Every structure is written in structure tokens, then in C-alpha cells.
Structure 1
Amino acid sequence: MTTATAPTAPAGRVTRDEPRARFGDLLAAEWLKTWSLRSTPWMYALTALAVIAFNVGTAYDHYKYWYQYDASGRSDFVTLGIPLVDAFTTNSAMVLVLAVAAIGAVSVTGEYGTGLIRTTFTAVPARRSVMAAKVLVLAAVTTVFGALVAGVSFASTQAILSGRNASVPLDHPGALRLVVASALLAPLAALAGLAIGTVIRHTGGSIVGCVVVLLLLPMVLSDRRHLTAVLQHTLPFSAWERLTSTEMQRSNELFPWTTGGAWTVYVLWALLAGAVAVFAGNRRDQ
């Protein structure tokens, strides 16, 4: 009489009973890593307060010194689109871009600095999947963050200006576009920061790169010459300025461009930044 024996693996061969990580597991892991640092919620909170404070301060300044406008200035306040300028100022947009781009860069450079990224890639050799999960989680979080900041900024500034009968509703021409463009500026800057951080892999250098690419280049490139104006139009901050500009501001442009072109810049930068983060993060460490 013979007894059945369980098959055994040949000597020298290691069996793996654990299933491969599913993409949903990678998303969950990235979500946990995003909020594992106490500084992350504080960074988002301080950025939101700073951006909203810039906008509210500008609106309150117009409210407080309303008496300094003559009758013509008061009547043209809404016509010239100044309530929309107050809703999301250029200064607040610069703060948003710098802070959120830094968050995006640190989300990957911090892991390279501590060596956690090597542990992650050892546990999950599918590096592109890991980076794709990081891209999606970062984009989702910053999109919600940007929508919250843009929505609160618009509502609060118009509430202040309503005290002078100088506010505009969300269905005012250009208002909804301003809110959406300002909200999407956050994930766009975050993905650009993530891509730069993936390439440079050093926190300080990545933040400098974000400042140069996202903020300095739009200032350096002149809009008074055709070539430099075209180059300027390919940058995300310039696209935001086009989407949020008033008719009065556009009347002085030598080389005007369309809102469709600005939205295209948004889409292409988001896709390019995501692709760079996924494929640049796939190369092996030296």
C-alpha cells in the first residue's frame, strides 16, 4: 500500500505563494505614504490659507478704499473685469504653483533621500506601475485641493465685493473659466514638480528647477517678439494667465492666442509630466 505525498519544489527553486501587487494596492500604498508625514497636511493647509489670504486681501482693499474711485471708476469696476482679477490674483497663483510644485517634487525626492524608493521597487519590481500610482494619487489630491482653494477664493472675494455692489456671479462671462483654470493649476504644477523631482532626485535642486521652469521662464520670455511670445505661450503659467485674463488685459497683447490653445497647453503639460515621472522613474539606480 502506497501513500500519496505532496509535490515538493525542486531543490534550488523558490516558490512564491503571495500574489503580485494589484494596481489598487499600489494606489492605497501611495495614499498612505502621502499622508504618513505630518508635514503634508500642514503644507496643504498653509498653502490654502496663503492663497486665499492674497485674494481676500486684494478684494478687501478695493472694498475699503471704494470711496477713492470716481463715479466712472465705480461703474466700470465690473465692466473691466476687476472682480475676476480679485477672485484669483497673480500673486496667489504664484504662491500656489510654487508650493504645490514643491509638494509634488518632495513626494518622490523624499523617498530617494531616505532610500524608501529602493525598498518600494524591491517589493514591487514593476516600477512603472508604482510611479503611475504616485501620479494618479498626487493628481487626485491636488485637483480636490485646487478646486477647494479656487472655490473658496471666488466665493469669499465676491462676498466682500458684494458690500459695494461690485461682485459677479459664477455665471458671469469668464468667471467659471477662471475658477476651473485656477483649480486645475494645482495638479498641473504638482505633476510638473513630480516630473522634475523624478529626473533630478534631489529636493533642493528639484525645487530650484520648479521655480525656473514654472515661474521664471514665463517672466524672462518677452511677449513683445513673436518667437519668445510663442515660447511663452507653451508654458503652464502663461496658459493660466490667458484663461483668467480680462478683455482689457488682452487688448494690449501683440500676439494674442485663444483659450483653446491655453487649455491644450494644460492637457499636454499634464500628459508630458505624467509620462516623464513614469518612465524616468523606471530607470535603474546606479
Structure 2
Amino acid sequence: MTLTSTPPTGAAGRTAAQSAPRARFVDLLAAEWIKMWSLRSTAWTIAVGTLAIVGFNVFTAYDDYSNWPSWGAEQRADFLPNWAMLDSFTDAALLCLMLIASAMGSLSVVGEYSTGQIRTTFTVVPARSAVMAAKVVVVTVVSTGLGLLAAGGSFWATQAILSGRDAGLSLSDAGVLPALASCVLAAPVAALVGMAVGTVIRASAATMGTSFALLLLVPMGVSDDHHASAVIDHTLPYSAWARLMQVAEKPAHFPWSTAGAWTVYAVWAVVAAVITIFAVQRRDQ
């Protein structure tokens, strides 16, 4: 009789895992894309959020359209071009966009931690940073799409209304495209911040509160009337958006450049992405 030895189950599992092909990054992107769109809330959030944002802006533009006949020549002249641009994307619209985008970003991470699915994900794909990098790419693409829908729809609708008073702007006007780009890109910046906070905190309520404070509450509590506070103010995404929405220069206590505002956007996005990708390396799961 010939005896054959059977390797232990654990060894067999390790052998099988070692022989299996490693997941390509494109496969991770596909998996994260499916995860994102398998949630019905994703499509509904984008649809309802876009309608709400466009609605905020249309209401403001129509209000100015209605009041236009009662305005004097000076007030009408002051309206163009900055206030006409702000009608296309109001503070309330930005607030709504950042809240929606940051929630999408944070839930893409916190959702898996709360269900325990993240353990399965990291077991199947031990390269944690690659998994999180795929999440960053997918969330950035989806949130940018949200920004495009919200900003594009708002600009088209509001300027169509204002054109009835010959007060509308067009894409060819100076400064309009960069201003619109700042509205679009506010969404992925907020989404990446939400992801970074979610990766560090891993609790839904605390993540939402912290993201909201960083993106919106802190700018409300910081003034640019003094140099020290202006320095802080000029490092915040909300303030960068407000600067980029100035189609024409206007007086300020401590003026700063559009290049500086774009740099703020870039730094927040890059730092948030780095935290999301590499913070998981030092966590227990």
C-alpha cells in the first residue's frame, strides 16, 4: 500500500492564493465602479441633487430678472459680470453640491467598514493601497460628473433667464469658463475630502460632521478682514471657489490670485487622495 500525504488546508489555501493571478488595477477599477452603481442611492442622489442645485440657482436668477425693471443704472452696471455669474451658481448651490459630493465620497469608504465588507475586499486583494486608489479614481470620476451636470445645467438655465433682460453671460465671455470649472471641480475636491475623513474616522456620523466642518463651517467662521485670518481663509476650498467666481476683479483687503485659488484646490485634492490611499496601511483592517 502506498501512502500519500495531503498538505494541510492552510498550506493548500496559501498555495492556491499564490498561484492565482494578481488583480490588475483595471480590474479593481471595474469592481469599484460596480460597487458604486450597484447602490440605487447613487443615481438618485445625483439626480435629486442636480435638480435641487439647479433649482436654487434658477430661483435666484428669476428673482433678479423680476427685480431688474426697478433697478437704477448703477445697480444694473454693478450686476454684470460678477453677480450674473454668481446667479449661475449661488452659495446655497455650492453648499448643496459639497454636502452631496462629500457624502458620496465618505460613504464609499465608511459603507464598507460598517458592513464589514472591507475585510473581504482586503483579503481578496491584499494590496490595500491599490484598492483605495481605485476607489479614489472612481469617486473622482463620478463626482466630477455630478459637478458637470449641476454647473452646466445651472449656467444654461440661469443665463437663459437673465438674457431676457440682456444681462446674461455666455461661455465666450472672459473668465466664465474658469468660473464654471471651479464649480465643477468643487465636487471632486469635496468628495476626496469626505473619503479621507472617512478613511481616518470610519464612522458615518462623525465623518459627515467633520467633512461638513472642514468644507463649510470653518470658512464661515474665518474673515479676510485681517492678515492672519485672511491667510487661513485663503487656504480653504470654499474661499478658493469664491475667488475663482470673480469674473471681474473687485476690491479686497488682501487680494489673491486665481493661480493661488487653483493651487488650494489641487493641494486639498492631492492631500486627501494620499491620506485615503496610504492611511489603510497602518490600520487593523
Is the TM value for this pair above 0.5?
yes
Paired with 2:39 and 2:128, the residues of 1 have a C-alpha distance of 22
Paired with 1:221 and 1:213, the residues of 2 have a C-alpha distance of 12
Paired with 1:67 and 1:270, the residues of 2 have a C-alpha distance of 43
Paired with 1:98 and 1:9, the residues of 2 have a C-alpha distance of 60
Counterpart position of 1:55: 57
**Per-residue Cα deviation, 1:125-183 (whole angstroms, up to 9, x for no partner):** 10000000000010011112212211111111111111111111111122111111100
Counterpart position of 1:25: 27
Equivalent residue runs for 1:1-286 within 5 Å: 11-12=7-8, 13-14=11-12, 15-16=15-16, 17-78=19-80, 80-247=81-248, 250-251=250-251, 253-285=252-284
Paired with 1:143 and 1:134, the residues of 2 have a C-alpha distance of 14
1:76 shift after superposition: 4.3
Aligned length: 276
Paired with 1:104 and 1:257, the residues of 2 have a C-alpha distance of 30
1:10 shift after superposition: 8.3
1:11 shift after superposition: 3.5
1:72 shift after superposition: 3.7
**Per-residue Cα deviation, 1:97-134 (whole angstroms, up to 9, x for no partner):** 11111111111111100001111011111000000000
Would you tell me which structure has more helix in proportion to its own residues?
A: 2
Unmatched 5+ stretches in structure 1: 1-7
SS in 1 for 2:282: coil
1:84 shift after superposition: 0.6
SS in 2 for 1:65: helix
Paired with 2:41 and 2:162, the residues of 1 have a C-alpha distance of 34
Paired with 1:137 and 1:75, the residues of 2 have a C-alpha distance of 43
1:266 shift after superposition: 0.8
Q: Aligned residues: percent identity?
A: 51
1:65 shift after superposition: 2.2
Paired with 2:154 and 2:139, the residues of 1 have a C-alpha distance of 22
Tell me which amino acid in the other structure corresponds to 2:76. Answer: R
Paired with 1:247 and 1:32, the residues of 2 have a C-alpha distance of 43
1:50 shift after superposition: 1.2
TM-score by length of 1: 0.92
Relative to 1, partners in 2 of residues 1:206 and 1:259: Cα closer, same or farther, differing over 3 Å?
same
TM-score by length of 2: 0.92
**Per-residue Cα deviation, 1:20-48 (whole angstroms, up to 9, x for no partner):** 11111100000011011111111111111
Question: Aligned-pair RMSD on alpha carbons?
Answer: 1.7
Tell me which amino acid in the other structure corresponds to 2:143. Answer: T
1:81 shift after superposition: 2.4
Counterpart position of 1:4: none
